[in-house]
């Protein structure tokens, strides 16, 4: 499964957020195959459509799909110099598919900023810079290594792949040297494959989390720190999610009905963990399809762009091996017509084959040979 790693400087609220994630966590009984790792928090992906389908079909059981957050351990500062725990920090980031960068955006004189700082003032941009700089330096080292190796081969113009790789490296190097992340670069389609093969850290999709004070979370637009973070994120085409980690910890302890009431009282319509989950899900290019029977209505995560047999394989490898076709309707059609029968009568029930590219919101039933 794809995972998003939570990073941030010490004392910005990562553990508080991760605790909230683990506590809000998916019920293990429903997901016996979920990762068992203290650094991984599995949450259910909130989805109104699943609720609506359940209301229509009234199955015995409803199972949401899940998403995994990874708590990234290790020491940030000096990480790119490659010593001990710093190395671990970079290695852990290398393994995740997206980065969730938590930034302190709350004033609280009882909570110190990272030790050894020149000033004690909260400074989101300086904090972002500290982490990004380590990632940029690590990438610069990888790029320089490749650069030296590929340069000669590319100069002879004989090896097409080397020429293309060199072109990409020449594009990335000066940007990193300027202290910017490689994700700020627009690559051509043919270059993207090369970029992927470089396994850089600063090309991973990122999402910034502004951790604001519990008193201000209802009116984030009024917070100057949030504005600063949003403006910076925009330079990387990245999203910003505003949460208060401390509030999330409280929410995680509540029952569902109390939760709605509590959220309303502080001026929110959904929890920060829910918002974060949905945003990370989209950042990773994930979509949801549903299976809907009387026994069970269930949501499944797929990587957008995959075809029907691969989607079937997410449920069971036999479904993929013996795939014949997928009886498919869209979520919108089910809601509009009210039942599968009515969707069929309206001529909207489709028989999709091996080449069908699965769409977010598809409701599918796979036919397969055993």
| Interacting residues toward ligand GDP by CB under 6 A | 8, 10-16, 106, 108, 111, 211, 213-214, 244-246
Buried b (16+ CB within 10 A) or exposed e, 249-287: bebbeeeeeebeebbeeeebeebbbbbbbbbbbebbebb
Report in angstroms how near the CB of residue 14 gets to ligand GDP at its nearest.
3
Report in angstroms how near the CB of residue 217 gets to ligand GDP at its nearest.
8
- Compute the distance between CA of residue 200 and CA of residue 135 in angstroms, rounded to an integer: 9
Asked if residue 51 belongs to a known ligand binding site, the reply is: no
Smaller CB separation from ligand GDP, 115 or 119: 115
Smaller CB separation from ligand GDP, 203 or 244: 244
Asked if residue 132 belongs to a known ligand binding site, the reply is: no
* Pairs from 339-342 (Cβ < 8 Å, separation ≥ 24): 339/56, 340/292
If one counts every other C-beta atom within 10 angstroms of the C-beta of residue 186, the result is 8
Report in angstroms how near the CB of residue 169 gets to ligand GDP at its nearest.
35
Report in angstroms how near the CB of residue 270 gets to ligand GDP at its nearest.
17
Asked if residue 13 belongs to a known ligand binding site, the reply is: yes
- Compute the distance between CA of residue 240 and CA of residue 261 in angstroms, rounded to an integer: 25
Smaller CB separation from ligand GDP, 63 or 131: 131
Asked if residue 11 belongs to a known ligand binding site, the reply is: yes
Report in angstroms how near the CB of residue 205 gets to ligand GDP at its nearest.
21
Asked if residue 291 belongs to a known ligand binding site, the reply is: no
Smaller CB separation from ligand GDP, 16 or 288: 16
Report in angstroms how near the CB of residue 110 gets to ligand GDP at its nearest.
7
Q: List C-alpha distances in Å: 139 to 86, 90, 180, 366.
A: 14, 10, 11, 44
Of 336, 327, 338, 316, whose CA–CA distance to 362 is shortest?
Answer: 327
Asked if residue 358 belongs to a known ligand binding site, the reply is: no
Smaller CB separation from ligand GDP, 5 or 13: 13
Smaller CB separation from ligand GDP, 131 or 143: 131
Smaller CB separation from ligand GDP, 12 or 169: 12
Report in angstroms how near the CB of residue 297 gets to ligand GDP at its nearest.
36
Q: How many residues does the chain have?
A: 370
Give the residue ranges of the annotated binding site for ATP.
Answer: 11-16
Give the residue ranges of the annotated binding site.
Answer: 11-16
């Amino acid at each position: 499964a794809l995972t998003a790693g939570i990073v941030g400087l010490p004392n910005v609220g990562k553990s508080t957020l991760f605790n909230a994630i683990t506590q809000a966590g998916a019920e293990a009984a429903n997901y016996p195959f979920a990762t068992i790792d203290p650094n991984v928090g599995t949450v259910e992906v909130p989805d109104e459509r699943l609720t609506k389908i359940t209301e229509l079909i009234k199955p015995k059981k409803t199972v949401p799909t899940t998403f995994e957050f990874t708590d990234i351990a290790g020491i940030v500062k000096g990480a790119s110099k490659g010593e001990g725990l710093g190395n671990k920090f970079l290695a852990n980031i290398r393994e995740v598919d997206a980065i969730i960068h938590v930034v302190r955006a709350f004033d609280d004189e009882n909570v110190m900023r990272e030790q050894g700082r020149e000033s004690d003032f909260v400074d989101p941009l300086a904090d972002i810079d500290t982490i990004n700089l380590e990632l940029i330096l690590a990438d610069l080292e990888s790029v320089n290594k490749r650069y030296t190796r590929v340069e000669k081969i590319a100069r002879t113009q004989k090896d097409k792949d080397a020429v293309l790789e060199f072109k990409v490296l020449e594009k990335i190097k000066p940007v990193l040297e300027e202290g910017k992340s490689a994700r700020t670069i627009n690559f051509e389609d043919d270059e993207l494959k090369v970029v992927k093969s470089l396994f850089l850290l600063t090309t991973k999709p990122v999402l910034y989390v502004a951790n604001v004070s519990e008193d201000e979370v209802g009116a984030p637009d009024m917070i100057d720190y949030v504005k600063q973070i949003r403006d910076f994120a925009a330079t990387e085409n990245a999203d910003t999610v505003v949460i208060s980690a401390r509030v999330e910890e409280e929410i995680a302890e509540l029952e569902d009905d109390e939760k709605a009431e509590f959220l309303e009282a502080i001026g929110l319509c959904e929890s920060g963990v829910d918002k974060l989950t949905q945003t990370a899900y989209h950042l990773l290019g994930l979509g949801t399809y549903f299976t809907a029977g009387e026994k069970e209505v269930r949501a499944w995560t797929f990587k957008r762009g995959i075809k029907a047999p691969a989607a079937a394989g997410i449920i069971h490898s036999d479904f993929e091996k013996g795939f014949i076709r997928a009886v498919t309707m869209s979520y919108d059609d089910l809601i509009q017509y009210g039942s599968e029968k009515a969707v069929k009568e309206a001529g909207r029930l489709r028989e999709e084959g091996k080449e069908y590219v699965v769409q977010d919101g598809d409701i599918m039933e796979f036919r397969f040979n055993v």
